Chains A and B, each alone.
Chain A
Amino acid sequence: MGIQGNHLPAGKSTAVNFKDRCQKLWFFTGRQKQLCSLNENVMNAVGHGARLAIEECQYQFNMLRWNCSTFSDSDSIFGAVTTIKSRETAFIHAITSAGVAYSITRACTKGDLTDCNCDTRKRGKKPRKQWQWGGCSEDIHFGEKFSRDFVDSHEPGDSAQGMMNLHNNEAGRRIIRSRMQRVCKCHGMSGSCSVRVCWRKLPSFRQVGDALSARFEGASSVKLVEKKKKNVKKLRAATKGLKQPNNTELVYLEDSPDYCEKNETLGILGTHGRICNRGSPGLDGCKLLCCGRGYQTRVREVEEKCRCRFVWCCNVLCEKCRFKKEEHICN
């Protein structure tokens, strides 16, 4: 899956060796190596998508006990915490698969990728003919398809964890589509609305992150239900009487570990030394974030840019101000 995408060297490689490089990436499955070898830009887009996902995760979890911390020296970028089938793992999977789908879609609309499908629904028709007859479908279809192909190929579909991850991957992708913004334009006779064209615009990834963050809070606990006779495995709500989670909701199998204390084996940093909000009653408040251990307040004198005047595109005229900043730090 794309979590390891961050391991890819960020710089551009030469055209000759990118195929070799794809084969050398040990954490890729066969299908992923195959997709990687397609085109150099494909891997750049996947890597960009993974980075986008991590940045977004860190933005959304900035003030939570687990703040989406990453490790550059570990095999897995988020540490062993992703082996626990928790809410957080659900979010990571969703945002990563969404990040890949988003980044591939953007690369398609930019014209960076030449492999984007014209119409993912109609098979066998030559793209040029299809384009000139009825036009191509939206790029998000290709982005989703690619993400499904690439990210999902990592998951075994028959285990409970695999099913949970697949569900969350799909939920992440669907969030993008559900946040797409509808735009319409009239261009009929004399500018009348007898001919109206509508299309959808890709949301910003921040909006996708916000939506997924809301889904994270409302994630449902599920368990694996096996019907041996029919050989069907399904994820069902853990408690009877609760609504079955639909395709856009996140699901998890286990409760989250304790993120308060440092845990080396799981890669949890703990909340010691984190900055908290004193007045806030929420999760970012000192009471909850510091897990009841209390906090210290320190006053620092800082020098920051202020009263900035911003001129498109590239001029920011700022003054430097010195002021005292109060910070609360968890014990």
Chain B
Amino acid sequence: MTGTVLENLSGRKLAVLVSFFLICQIVCFLIGGLIAPKPSITDSVLSTKCIDTSNNSDEWFYTRGPKPCRSVDLSHFMYEEQSLFANQIVFVFQIPSPRETVLLDYSRWQQNLVGILHLDVLYHSQNEMAPRTVLTIDAKLGYQNKHDPPDKWTYYASSVERRNLDCVMEQKKDLYPYNCSIVPLFELGSLHHDYYLLNIRLPVDKGRNAKLGHVADIWLFAINQTGGFTKVWLSLKCVFFPSIIGILIWFLRRISGLKRKPQVLETMLIIVALSLTLLNAPVELLTLFFDLPFMLLLTDIRQGIFYAALLSFWLVFSAEHLMEVQKKSLKEYWPYFSSVVVGCVSLFIFELCERGIQLKNPFYSIWVTDAGTKLAMALLVIGGLCGIGYLILLCYLIWKVFCNIGTKRASLPALSQARKLHYSGIIYRFNFLMIATVVCAALTMVTFCLGQVSEGQFKWEEYDGLEYTSAFFTGVYGMWNIYIFSLLVLYAPSHKHWPSQADLSIPTNEIEFSCLEPEPSEISSLTTFAKKTALD
């Protein structure tokens, strides 16, 4: 019982396996590109300005349904009309909007909802706005389901929020619009109900909103995941989830068949596979039946755990191939992991501060208050620094591995023909996997950057054919699944004995190979090789 499957696999079998993985990869990419729609869509909704005659803040204002509200137009400013007060104007958004005489409703497949406001502020020479104004928004969100009576709106959340509004203007002319920044308003982690109603007031009292200019209109941009993308995504998960579990069971059975305890690298592989299984588990299906607002947070956490495991695995993978002193257990690697752990913990705290509190108040944002901004920035900077530290450490380790391989390779000509062939094969395959990792990481980066660039020069005209963003997501998701799958396959302990395989190729050098046989506790023959060459 020696080495891993990778070292004992013939070149042809390896080629077949690799091409199979490549085909799977392309299929994943095409599923996203050809079947799935784009991952999320934005609905632009223009507000209807309703008049609250009674100044009764408990009432719901809506535009579709029995007894719709009385609306006004604010674009032409009446100097004479003094009867209206800011607190009486309610900006009403009823989503989704009807199309083709059909009253659309949100489907639970659409998963989440992000609301962003954009204010159309008109310039008046008598009332110039400061470049940064603090906006106070009194927002109230309600929902309705299909079988509810049409005038019954149920309270979901409400809050009085402060947001910074940055408005600039190049050419100052009366009644021209300012160029204002967008105002993120709310994030719903679950889209459980059919219709939503947002009522917004910009109250003017106690100095609030006193410096606001002439708001002619408010836009709401409602972003939600597309149902089609969720369906494709969950189908992929339903395929990957059992396959990774299956291969993990196979891997565990191989290890349990050995006389020794699992090696560090094997333990690490199991951890990565488990974290991927956690990520693959299609728990989102539950949102179709239950209202689970924490799903967005949970998905982020699961993703974070997988990234942390994968990053740690790379460290261990490189360190294990240093061909120096071997560490016997994972615990000895703790200084290596510190950057990953600190980075992940800081991002986790940030996540809890933003999305965690949003579970209580969907209008909450950490970026609004100064203290919150500082905390968020501090957490993100720590995360970023840890990322940089990690990258430096990983690059250093990889560089060292390649250096060691180089020196070992230099001593190859001194060895006999059979050992030379054998060892160069091992180095080749190690490099091969190393390169596969780099290629995977690079591909992720490149497709991401390409996506950003192509977004930048996005042709807004008719856009049929390949849906690039979806293809990127399914492609990358599939790639890391295939990557872990292949690691589990190739790094599983092999049943084959070296001599038997070597016999076929070079039958004359039997004695030499028998002395090459490593101790059963060795995981990689590369490390054996290191020791043997040292003996030589």
A interface with B by C-beta (< 8 Å): 106, 108-112, 114-118, 121, 126-128, 131-136, 138-139, 177, 180, 183-185, 187, 189-191, 193-202, 204, 206-207, 305, 307-316, 318
Which 4 A-B residue pairs are closest in the complex by CB-CB distance? A134-B37, A135-B41, A310-B127, A199-B42
**In the assembled complex, how far is the CB of residue A309 from the closest CB belonging to chain B, in whole angstroms?**
7
Query: Chain B contacts of A207 at CB under 8 A?
Result: 177
* One of B182, B213, B215, B351 near A190 (C-beta < 8 A): B351
A-B contact pairs, 11 of them (CB 8 A): A118-B100, A127-B100, A131-B96, A134-B37, A134-B41, A310-B126, A312-B202, A313-B74, A313-B84, A313-B89, A316-B77
Sample of 12 more A-B contacts, CB < 8 Å, known A183-B182, A206-B176: A114-B98, A121-B464, A131-B96, A131-B104, A185-B184, A190-B347, A199-B221, A201-B44, A310-B213, A312-B202, A313-B84, A314-B83
Query: In the bound complex, how far is the Cα of B176 from the Cα of A106, in angstroms?
Result: 18
Query: In the bound complex, how far is the Cα of B448 from the Cα of A253, in angstroms?
Result: 50
Whether A189 lies near B41 (C-beta < 8 A) is: no
Taking CB atoms and an 8 Å cut-off, the chain B residues in 111-159 that contact chain A are 114, 116, 118, 120, 124, 126-127
Query: Chain A contacts of B214 at CB under 8 A?
Result: 310, 312-313
Q: Is B107 close to A, CB under 8 A?
A: yes
* One of A180, A191, A314, A318 near B81 (C-beta < 8 A): A314
Whether A139 lies near B458 (C-beta < 8 A) is: no
Smallest CB-CB separation from B383: which chain A residue? A190
If A131-B96, A312-B213, A313-B89 touch, whether A111 touches B455 (CB-CB below 8 Å) is no
Could you say which of B223-231, B242-250, B434-442, B522-530 contacts chain A? Answer: B223-231
If A134-B37, A136-B43 touch, whether A116 touches B85 (CB-CB below 8 Å) is no
Smallest CB-CB separation from B212: which chain A residue? A312
Task: Choose among A183, A194, A202, A313 the residue with the greatest number of B CB atoms under 10 Å from its CB.
Answer: A313
* One of A187, A206, A312 near B177 (C-beta < 8 A): A206
Query: Chain B contacts of A121 at CB under 8 A?
Result: 462, 464
Query: Chain A contacts of B176 at CB under 8 A?
Result: 204, 206
Query: Chain A contacts of B43 at CB under 8 A?
Result: 135-136
Whether B109 lies near A116 (C-beta < 8 A) is: no
Query: Chain B contacts of A315 at CB under 8 A?
Result: 82
Q: Is B360 close to A, CB under 8 A?
A: no
How many residues belonging to B are interface residues under a CB distance threshold of 8 Å? 82
Whether B42 lies near A197 (C-beta < 8 A) is: yes
Whether B104 lies near A127 (C-beta < 8 A) is: yes
Query: In the bound complex, how far is the Cα of B72 from the Cα of A313, in angstroms?
Result: 12
Q: Is B338 close to A, CB under 8 A?
A: no
B interface with A by C-beta (< 8 Å): 37-48, 63-64, 74, 77, 79, 81-86, 89, 94, 96-102, 104-105, 107, 109-110, 114, 116, 118, 120, 124, 126-127, 175-177, 182, 184, 187, 202, 204, 209-210, 212-215, 219, 221, 223-224, 226-228, 231, 300, 303-304, 347, 350-351, 354, 380, 383, 448, 452, 455, 458, 460, 462, 464
**In the assembled complex, how far is the CB of residue B453 from the closest CB belonging to chain A, in whole angstroms?**
12
Whether A189 lies near B303 (C-beta < 8 A) is: yes
Task: Choose among A131, A193, A199, A307 the residue with the greatest number of B CB atoms under 10 Å from its CB.
Answer: A131
Whether A115 lies near B101 (C-beta < 8 A) is: yes
Query: Chain A contacts of B42 at CB under 8 A?
Result: 197-199
Query: Chain A contacts of B37 at CB under 8 A?
Result: 133-135
Query: In the bound complex, how far is the Cα of B84 from the Cα of A198, in angstroms?
Result: 36
Smallest CB-CB separation from A188: which chain B residue? B300
Smallest CB-CB separation from A185: which chain B residue? B116
Query: In the bound complex, how far is the Cα of B97 from the Cα of A115, in angstroms?
Result: 11
Main secondary structure of the interface of A (DSSP, over half): mixed
Query: Chain A contacts of B41 at CB under 8 A?
Result: 134-136
If A114-B98, A127-B99, A190-B351 touch, whether A312 touches B86 (CB-CB below 8 Å) is yes
Query: Chain A contacts of B126 at CB under 8 A?
Result: 307-310
If A183-B118, A191-B354, A200-B460 touch, whether A131 touches B99 (CB-CB below 8 Å) is yes
Query: In the bound complex, how far is the Cα of B177 from the Cα of A206, in angstroms?
Result: 8
Query: Chain A contacts of B204 at CB under 8 A?
Result: 311-313
**In the assembled complex, how far is the CB of residue A60 from the closest CB belonging to chain B, in whole angstroms?**
12
Whether B86 lies near A314 (C-beta < 8 A) is: yes
**In the assembled complex, how far is the CB of residue B132 from the closest CB belonging to chain A, in whole angstroms?**
16
Whether B38 lies near A134 (C-beta < 8 A) is: yes
If A121-B464, A312-B212, A312-B213 touch, whether A134 touches B79 (CB-CB below 8 Å) is no
Smallest CB-CB separation from A180: which chain B residue? B460
Whether B79 lies near A318 (C-beta < 8 A) is: yes
If A185-B184, A202-B44 touch, whether A196 touches B455 (CB-CB below 8 Å) is yes
**In the assembled complex, how far is the CB of residue B41 from the closest CB belonging to chain A, in whole angstroms?**
3
Query: In the bound complex, how far is the Cα of B37 from the Cα of A199, in angstroms?
Result: 15
**In the assembled complex, how far is the CB of residue A179 from the closest CB belonging to chain B, in whole angstroms?**
12
Query: In the bound complex, how far is the Cα of B89 from the Cα of A206, in angstroms?
Result: 25
Query: Chain B contacts of A316 at CB under 8 A?
Result: 77, 79
If A110-B45, A177-B460 touch, whether A314 touches B82 (CB-CB below 8 Å) is yes
If A197-B40, A206-B175, A312-B202 touch, whether A187 touches B223 (CB-CB below 8 Å) is yes
Query: In the bound complex, how far is the Cα of B350 from the Cα of A153, in angstroms?
Result: 58
Smallest CB-CB separation from A316: which chain B residue? B79
Query: In the bound complex, how far is the Cα of B45 from the Cα of A295, in angstroms?
Result: 50
Whether A132 lies near B107 (C-beta < 8 A) is: yes
Whether A109 lies near B98 (C-beta < 8 A) is: no
If A134-B228, A196-B455 touch, whether A201 touches B219 (CB-CB below 8 Å) is yes
Smallest CB-CB separation from A183: which chain B residue? B182
Whether B44 lies near A190 (C-beta < 8 A) is: no
Query: In the bound complex, how far is the Cα of B107 from the Cα of A117, in angstroms?
Result: 19
Query: Chain A contacts of B63 at CB under 8 A?
Result: 110-112
Query: Chain A contacts of B100 at CB under 8 A?
Result: 114-118, 127
**In the assembled complex, how far is the CB of residue A31 from the closest CB belonging to chain B, in whole angstroms?**
19
Task: Choose among B89, B99, B304 the residue with the greatest number of A CB atoms under 10 Å from its CB.
Answer: B99
Query: Chain A contacts of B187 at CB under 8 A?
Result: 187
Query: Chain A contacts of B464 at CB under 8 A?
Result: 121
Query: Chain B contacts of A111 at CB under 8 A?
Result: 45, 48, 63-64, 94, 97-98
Whether B212 lies near A109 (C-beta < 8 A) is: no
Smallest CB-CB separation from A48: which chain B residue? B73
**In the assembled complex, how far is the CB of residue A105 from the closest CB belonging to chain B, in whole angstroms?**
9
**In the assembled complex, how far is the CB of residue B447 from the closest CB belonging to chain A, in whole angstroms?**
12
**In the assembled complex, how far is the CB of residue B373 from the closest CB belonging to chain A, in whole angstroms?**
12
